[in-house]
Homo-oligomer: A and B are copies of this chain.
Amino acid sequence: MKEYNLKTIKHIAEKVQLSVSTVSRVLNGKTKKYRISDKTSELVLKAAKELNYSPNLLARGLRLSKTFTLGYITPDIANPFFSRIADNVEKYARQKGYSVVLCGSEEDTNVEKSSVKILADRQIDGLIISPVSQEIQHILDLRKRKIPIVMIDRYFPDMGIPFVTSENYKGAFESVKYLIESGHKRIACIQGLKNTLPIMERVRGYKTALKEHNIEIDETLIVGDNFSEQNGYIETKLLMKKANSPTAIFGLSNLISFGAMRALKEEGLSIPNNISLITFDDLPYLDFLSPSITAVEQQGNEIGNIATKILIDQIETGRSYESEGIFLPTKLTIRNSVKKI
């Protein structure tokens, strides 16, 4: 295998006996502006092709203070909700000429902070993030550097940072309403991370639905504190041991509900006969379970696309996004996991 020396603009310049500036201008299509003759232009292009030239994006980035790089910080890329978003973020970005560097926050603010710093040091042009907590100074710091940011799923309102999320309140409200209309009164709600807005909004939807139907809110039925499968599992176990156990569970995320299902199965409780279930996040397999599970669908694809579009728009126009938050409608897909009682 023969040694392969990376070619630079300089090599082209030497080969065609021109200056690097001329070569650069030709390669960047600025021949008119700098009055490069067609003859030299062709010469340069031919040489570039022959040498298999490819620009060093580090150097360009350094010079231009523009890297065509986006950061994407996600709590858990293995979660299908986030991986679907990542898929769309990456595709959209690539189509627009941007690359995305993927960083995990592992649902841990300190990890998130260090990921933000790494991305900042890499001089990203913009950031997409689903922030772990309400601790956001590191994100505001980024903004001070004039780096556009878009939040996904989780967000902070009134900070002037645009976000794309679902109609969490409405989605939860409709679900619980449906449960109530099916005759349920003791409805448990297993939360994700408590101080995230989607969860706060979903819980608010849950509570409002109960109130509107004159059902007293039993705080002992509002349990859980993170997005893990384990959380769903444990809380379900505990719920079902209660003296006055619920007749329905509303799981506020896919993993939580999965944990709930695992617990119910272990306990020999059947859905929907012994207990009804509705979950946030729809996934294809939910339709194949017995019973199939009623779910609140979020538009993961659109969330990713829109967030990336907004971000790139901000980067390229310099304008900050006019309307702060975008709430995408959810859809309650009714299946067979809720019993009429």
A residues contacting B by CB (< 8 A) are 1-2, 4, 6, 54-59, 61-62, 67, 69, 72, 76-78, 80, 83-84, 86-87, 90-91, 94, 99-104, 106, 115, 117-123, 141, 143-146, 229, 258, 261-262, 265, 283-285, 288-290
Q: A265: which B residues are within 8 A, CB to CB?
A: 288
Contacts A/B (CB < 8 Å), 20 sampled = A1-B143, A54-B117, A54-B120, A57-B121, A57-B122, A59-B62, A76-B87, A77-B83, A78-B87, A80-B80, A83-B86, A90-B102, A94-B103, A94-B104, A99-B103, A99-B122, A100-B102, A101-B101, A258-B285, A290-B290
Q: Is the CB of B87 within 8 A of A56?
A: no
Asked whether A58 and B62 contact (CB < 8 A) given A87-B104, A94-B104, the answer is yes
* 17 further A-B pairs in the complex, CB-CB below 8 A; given A69-B101, A289-B290, A290-B290: A56-B121, A56-B123, A58-B58, A62-B62, A72-B102, A77-B86, A77-B90, A78-B84, A99-B103, A99-B119, A101-B101, A101-B102, A258-B284, A261-B288, A285-B285, A285-B289, A289-B289
Q: A72: which B residues are within 8 A, CB to CB?
A: 102
Nearest CB in chain B to that of A285: its residue: B285
Q: A289: which B residues are within 8 A, CB to CB?
A: 285, 288-290
What 5 A-B pairs have minimum CB-CB distances, sorted nearest first?
A290-B290, A83-B83, A4-B144, A78-B87, A285-B285
Expressed in whole angstroms, the Cα–Cα distance for A46 and B58 within the complex equals 29
Q: A100: which B residues are within 8 A, CB to CB?
A: 101-102
Q: How far is the CB of A123 from chain B (nearest CB, A)?
A: 5
Expressed in whole angstroms, the Cα–Cα distance for A123 and B87 within the complex equals 23
Could you say which of A84, A94, A115 has the most chain B C-beta atoms within 10 Å of its C-beta? A94
Could you say which of A2, A87, A146 has the most chain B C-beta atoms within 10 Å of its C-beta? A87
Expressed in whole angstroms, the Cα–Cα distance for A41 and B330 within the complex equals 57
Asked whether A57 and B288 contact (CB < 8 A) given A91-B104, A103-B94, the answer is no
Nearest CB in chain B to that of A120: its residue: B54
Expressed in whole angstroms, the Cα–Cα distance for A62 and B8 within the complex equals 13
Nearest CB in chain B to that of A102: its residue: B102
Q: Is the CB of B288 within 8 A of A54?
A: no
Contact pick for A62, options B56, B120, B258, CB 8 Å: B56
Nearest CB in chain B to that of A99: its residue: B101
Q: Is the CB of A80 within 8 A of B77?
A: no
Q: A77: which B residues are within 8 A, CB to CB?
A: 77, 83, 86-87, 90
Q: A285: which B residues are within 8 A, CB to CB?
A: 258, 283, 285, 289
Expressed in whole angstroms, the Cα–Cα distance for A61 and B102 within the complex equals 19
Nearest CB in chain B to that of A82: its residue: B83
Q: How far is the CB of A89 from chain B (nearest CB, A)?
A: 9
Q: A94: which B residues are within 8 A, CB to CB?
A: 103-104, 115, 118
Q: How far is the CB of A159 from chain B (nearest CB, A)?
A: 11
Expressed in whole angstroms, the Cα–Cα distance for A61 and B61 within the complex equals 11
Could you say which of A76, A78, A94, A145 has the most chain B C-beta atoms within 10 Å of its C-beta? A78
Expressed in whole angstroms, the Cα–Cα distance for A56 and B120 within the complex equals 9
Nearest CB in chain B to that of A52: its residue: B141
Q: Is the CB of B54 within 8 A of A58?
A: no
Q: How far is the CB of A229 from chain B (nearest CB, A)?
A: 8
Contact pick for A86, options B62, B102, B118, CB 8 Å: B102
